[in-house]
Amino acid sequence: MRVIQGIGLVLFLLGMLVFTVLPFLSSYRLTEDLVLDQVKETHRETLAELLQPMYGQVYPSTHAFLTAYSSNFDLYNEELKSKQAWDQVIWDDYGFALAKAAGDGPARAHPWTSLALSIGLVVLGGVLFQFAGAGPAHASLTHTGVFHSSLKNRGVLGILTGTYLIGFYVILYWFPAYLSPLVWMVEPIAQFLSGGPASQWFLYGLVYTLAIGVMGIRMVLKYRDNKYQQLRTASVVFFQTAFAFLIPEVLVLLNKPYFDFKNIWPLDYDFFYDYQMDTFLSSGGLGLFMLIWGILLIVLGVPVFTYFYGKRWYCSWVCGCGGLAETVGDGFRHLSDKSLKAWQWERWMIHGVLALAVVMTSLTIVNYFSSFSLLGQVTNQLHSFYGFAIGSAFAGVVGTGFYPFMGNRVWCRFGCPLAAYLGLVQRFKSRFRITTNGGQCISCGNCSTHCEMGIDVRAYAQQGQNIVRSSCVGCGVCASVCPRGVLKLENGSEEGRIHEFPILIGNDSIKLRS
């Protein structure tokens, strides 16, 4: 088994190496035809002329190509900006589209082989590693060793992993042209699913889905005695694969709007943006259904489901961010900060983001229905700020890149506006709570240590108090690590759900409020 595990690790690392090296093995040759093909009609003439000096040249790297592109293109915009001719500035970034069209390299010539040797090896190696490392059947769930691990306890491997992830997200959001060689190798899959070309987002979606799948296997093996963990893992894998990845692509194939039916505003922060509204309103019955469905989820779905089951119905059973956190991020859960100070920061930050999302969206809607007479293009700037700071930097770079530094729920805990909304319902109007088993707590601290949301579970448990916290995503790990069987996630009567003055069972001398 050790040998197979070793082979798995080697394959995984080889795949990662190929994935990392492939973007460097590409060269670029731009022609006028390609420019005319990739550029919007209104910009064609301008760009075809601007990029003239590049035609026929061979650029040996993505960087060389992009540098040449910028040197020819940027002057044009800068001149217009200095003249304050804002309406003539070309805001579109054609870097990725042109790089993808003009590039050549192994991933383009042999997409399937490249895919197999990179992502394929990572998946195969990952699966082998998980199965071989699962240990004997009697060895039940354990969290031992996490603080002796370099990867899982902020050692060198942890720092390297975090740095790699952060780098990947920075490139994905702000320098996607560098990923264009990787996008070539998923082009055939995109063509098959949606009938259209692959973007960097398609590549990302595929990698994301596979990561949740492979690490979902790890979860099921790790929690082999725990049906709750297995079911919720199966659920997040299903929702990611079907709802987030496949259905939207197939919708595109059918000439319908790209839509993720399980994404909910304000996590889905552009749901009410003008271009989305235009899409919904111009796509017939299905478009209208999407709009109504999305609104129903916000006004009915969230409160009703959260009332009955707590916010876990979304955060640890359905959500894509949650899905990644609960599978890929599971090994980092104990790195969350449990201090009182962290809780104070958390409350300000997450509710701040919620407020920001609400204000931004309200302005957007008002503006939309007043035909942009109220604020003009100001909402666009708000959108780009939110998209940059919250949508990309916080949710993506910090949200995932910080797994090995601050645990797997940094975004969900400090930033996600939907989590904030779900949390308010959970705190004030829900049947969900974590019950403490009478006086059985021994204050060992396993629950708090392994809470990914940084809740000091023990502080409640040792007083015999139910745990009712807006941030709890109901992952159920506290109940599973507890060596005395003290904690249980339950939906029950609202009466007595919050114990202001709990009583520990077992002492008849007094009835003491702890």
Partner 1 sequence: MGSRHFVIIGNGISGITFARHLRKGDDQARITVISGESPYFFSRTALMYVYMGQMKWEHTQPYEPHFWRKNRIDLKQAWVKTITFESKTLVFDSGETLNYDILVLATGSKPAFFGWPGQDLKGVQGLYTKQDLETMEAITSQPMEHAVIVGGGLIGIELAEMLTYKKIPVTFLVRENRFWEQVLPQAEANLVQKHIIQNSIDLRLETELKEILSDAHGNARAVVTSSGEEIPCSFVGIATGVTPNVDFLKNTSLAIGNGIKVNTYFESSLPDVYAIGDCAEFDQPPGPGRRTLEQVWYTGRMQGETLAYSFCHKPVTYQPGVWFNSAKFFAIEYQTYGWVSPEKVDGERDFYWEHRDGKVSFRMAMDQEGKILGVLNLGFRLRHEFCDRAIREKWSGEKVMQELGKGVFDPEFYAPYHLEIQAAYQRQFGGVFLPSKKSFFQKLFGVSQ
Site residues, partner 1 (CB under 8 A) = 138-149, 225-228, 231, 339-340, 435, 437-440, 442-446, 448-449, 458-459, 462, 476, 479-481, 483-485, 488-490, 504-510, 512, 514
Please, which residue, 167 or 438, has the CB nearer to partner 1? 438
201 to 26, 96, 368, 457, 481: CA distances (angstroms): 20, 12, 27, 38, 37
Amino acid at 350: I
Q: What is the DSSP letter of 514?
A: -
| Alpha-carbon dihedral angle through residues 510, 461, 471, 449, given to the nearest 10 degrees | 150
- Closer Cβ to partner 1, 307 or 368, answer by number: 307
Cβ contacts of residue 188 below 8 Å, gap of 6+? 111, 112
Using the minimum distance from each CB to partner 1, give the nearer residue, 224 or 256: 224
- Residue number with CB closer to partner 1 (347 or 488): 488
Residues 6 or more apart in contact with residue 184 via CB below 8 angstroms: 100, 103, 105, 107, 108, 111, 114, 198
Least separation in angstroms between CB 74 and partner 1:
51
Sequence-separated contacts (24+) of 362-368 with Cβ below 8 Å: 364/272, 364/273, 364/274, 365/272, 367/274, 368/272, 368/274, 368/277
The least CB distance from residue 419 to partner 1, in Å, is 22
What DSSP assignment string belongs to 151-207? TTTTSHHHHHHHHHHHHHHHHHHH-GGGGHHHHHHHHHHHHHHHSS---HHHHHHHH
Q: State which residue, 116 or 444, has the beta carbon closest to partner 1.
A: 444
Q: Residue with structure tokens 């700071």?
A: 389
Neighbours of 88 (CB within 10 A): 12
Q: Give least dist CB 509 to partner 1, A.
A: 4
CB of 489 to partner 1, least distance (A): 6
Residues 25 and 105 sit within 8 Å (Cβ to Cβ): yes
* Residue 231 or 254 having the CB closest to partner 1: 231
Cβ of residue 346: shortest distance to partner 1, in angstroms?
Answer: 16
Which residues, listed in sequence order, are joined to residue 59 by a DSSP beta bridge?
Answer: 28
What's the rounded Cα separation, in Å, for the pair 245 and 24?
27
Min. distance of Cβ 392 from partner 1 in angstroms? 33
Tell me the closest approach of the beta carbon of residue 412 to partner 1, in angstroms: 21
DSSP string computed for 366-395? HHHHTTTTTTTTHHHHHHHHHIIIIIIIII
Our CB check for partner 1 shows the closer of 377 and 514 to be 514
Complex with partner 1: residue 17 or 342, whichever CB lies closer: 342
Minimum gap (Å) between residue 227 Cβ and partner 1? 4
Closest CA to 203 of 132, 111, 290: 111
Least CB distance to partner 1 at residue 481 (A): 8
The residue ranges of DSSP E strands in 23-63, in sequence order, are 27-29, 58-59
Nearer to partner 1, 10 or 444 (CB): 444
**What are the backbone angles phi and psi of residue 434, rounded to the nearest 5°?**
-100, 120
Closest separation in Å from C-beta 231 to partner 1 = 6
* Rounded (5°) CA angle 350-153-231: 65
CA pair distance 237, 324, nearest whole angstrom: 9
Nearest approach, Cβ of 513 to partner 1 (angstroms)?
A: 8
Asked if 202 and 180 count as a contact pair (C-beta separation under 8 A), the reply is no
Task: Check whether the bond before 266 is cis (ω within 30° of 0).
Answer: yes
- Give the nearer residue to partner 1 in terms of CB position, either 230 or 380: 230
- 297-301 CB contacts, 8 Å cutoff, 24+ apart: 297/264, 298/264, 298/265, 301/264
Q: How many CB atoms lie within 10 A of CB 67?
A: 12
Residue 421: CB minimum distance to partner 1, A: 24
- Least distance between partner 1 and beta carbon 230 (Å): 8
Burial class for 5, CB neighbours closer than 10 Å (0-12, 13-18, 19+): middle
Of 54 and 479, the one with the shorter C-beta distance to partner 1 is 479
- Closer Cβ to partner 1, 100 or 499, answer by number: 499
The smaller minimum CB distance to partner 1, of residues 262 and 488, is found at: 488
